Amino acid sequence: MKAVENAIGNGNLRVASWLCWYYPEFVPTHNSLWMYPENLFDTLLFIQVNYPDVFTLEFGRGTKSDLADEYRKGSEILVNKWLDEKSPGRPTKQREVTFMWGM
């Protein structure tokens, strides 16, 4: 599971896709990203398609909340708008979030 979470967290979607294909039983357990990679939209779309049980309403709301605190560049405005459509509203649960921006 750690390998899947690290691959997704680092935005390494080739590795994440390989792990998802060969080890479908390994599913991320966190309800938040611990790192926001440069390819954030692709990463979120990958999670939504491959791990729909992880991409919950609360996951989307929490991610949106994190981004509101830490805008880095204009592309995240588009991610935020997409998350608004998928996960309207504010987070309802307190999340344990430790995140870093992709390097």
Along the chain (103 residues), what's the average pLDDT of each consecutive run of 10 residues?
82 92 88 78 93 89 78 70 86 55 44
Residue 99 lies in a domain: no
Domain count, the chain: 1
Rounded Cα gap, residues 77 and 56, in angstroms:
20
DSSP assignment, residue 32? S
Residues pairing with 17 in the sheet? none
- pLDDT of 7 reads 85
* Interstrand relation of 35-36 and 100-101 (parallel, antiparallel or unpaired): parallel
- pLDDT of 102 reads 47
Q: How far is CA 84 from the centre of its chain?
A: 14
- pLDDT of 47 reads 92
Residue 102 lies in a domain: no
- pLDDT of 19 reads 94
Residue 67 lies in a domain: yes
- pLDDT of 100 reads 44
Residue 101 lies in a domain: no
Residue 100 lies in a domain: no
| pTM, to two decimals | 0.78
Residue 23 lies in a domain: yes
Q: Is the four-CA dihedral 7, 8, 12, 15 of positive or negative sign? A: positive
Domain region containing 51: 2-91
Residue 96 lies in a domain: no
Residues pairing with 36 in the sheet? 101
